[in-house]
Structure 1
């Protein structure tokens, strides 16, 4: 708080929470001396949906290897990068960290393959979007408190999750539903903390997915150095460590890449803040542009890396085969739960709405909360 910049989000100036928590244990000090954004972060960490991320796909579906990343470890890595950038820029580190930790909570099992299956299942009922599902999970499906649904997060937290990639002109049904309860000002830009959380996500998965791809044998250094900016970095690393075998230098490449991207974001964001004349958090939202992010030069390189990763890792034949199987698992389960809802756990089956679209959305809520291994277990139990 002491070194925060004026354009940072200040918990003392928060727009509040949907439910007034009144004089509870919070006021008495029983639950510790934390501000609102610290509480948001802690509520995420202690949530059931956050714990489930440890068994949800990041790159590889239900990875057999203990060393591959999952949604949980990815979220922790994003938080580390986000917090580093936030500190350098004088932003609120707790809000940035909370946004980073929560950003993937709405992902269903099997990553984008599972999301595609749910999108198809809900095609006639508003579709499925993991970002909006994150907010739905945190505002309705999590229920640790006796007097309200959800985690009762601050406006700034929900706003950042809703529009970390910029203004939302056409919200999905789930986001529109959340916005009707608490106006998130969807047409404006988000806080700098949310902008930094978004770019930290890009930095983390762009580089850590390289590590996982090489570890799985689906990527090689020879492929990577076809990208000029990777080749330049790799040549420099080999010159610095001429007596070290290449396999051990992959980690150095990833560290260097992350460092270059982080430094670029810090320098670029500082420059844009200076040029735009932004001085307050409200100025950030009214700036009409994304202030926190890559320079144009780095953005071009980052897009080239993403294109490479899609061509060589995400759309690798082995990955596509696994994704096809995963889509079948999710699609089969949605279909059987629609036909025989009694196969769902008792609480979910008893609370199933009788009319559409609420009925299929309820099933999607159940499905989206599944981990990879639980979805596989349910499918095996029903279909063999």
Structure 2
């Protein structure tokens, strides 16, 4: 690939495509970095040669591919690399503009002002449609007008992935720009971090194609959260992450499409945080993960016949309560065992001290278990991960 640092005159002589006086691509200039390993660019105008065989001897197979396939390849590249392919020849600039735009601002410049300029130039230079747009959440707080203008750009029409990523701690939050919701009909993946989601806007939304939703350090009311993840609002939602969601203490989930749920809560004084999750009806749910076990979240499972992966249970004093019908677990302690859970095959545990009898007793609730993961924290040492043979445990439990 031609390094952007080389002069336009040198590029014209190498590629034979750029006309005299033609300026370098705007997006390539915005993401320009030195390349310590210069390489001679291929010549798209030349047909692939069979000399050398096996891809050697200067054979250029890539340039012989149709523009449609090259566009798919460019759409999978990082933002920086996709923009830099334009320096190869004028044909590549046309292909970059024709390919769906994958714009991740974290790959551009560090300073906010320079980053904002680079994003604006790329959006102005690309006609769309949009594939993915990623912007740090603090930019929404610091430059709301600029973010709103970016989201209204034609380059992001029909956007499929939107990521307001968690980049730095924002003590002050902002409401999502109104232009965010123009993508509701096309979004497949969405991440909202360190933002406020207000009832009036969220409750009227419908995401017919959304399969992955992540809410991180988000403030939203109970009604808004229920509405957003409901089958009526997200009929094909498969993966849900709720990490530090505030404003809702009790969540009831009914979804015919959800396959994976992950919940995590940090300790924050004075903020209403998620304390209880009830799986009312989730016929396709396969995984439920409690990703931050220092703050307990009580979980009740009413209908989830395909639930195979469960974690992470812990045996600390303020451990979470897990309820399957009328079977109740408090940490590793089996409070009530009326029915066994045969669907669970993978279980993750965290313990200060490993007690084999306790683990064996816990396994009676999950008789079809195939994999067991235990993370042991010793007060006088570090963290110890222990793998235990289920065959050995089953043999001991039968003695």
- Give the TM-score normalised by the residue count of structure 1: 0.22
Bigger fraction of residues in helix? 1
- Give the TM-score normalised by the residue count of structure 2: 0.21
Bigger fraction of residues in strand? 2
Structure with the bigger RCO (C-alpha within 8 Å, sep 6+) is 1
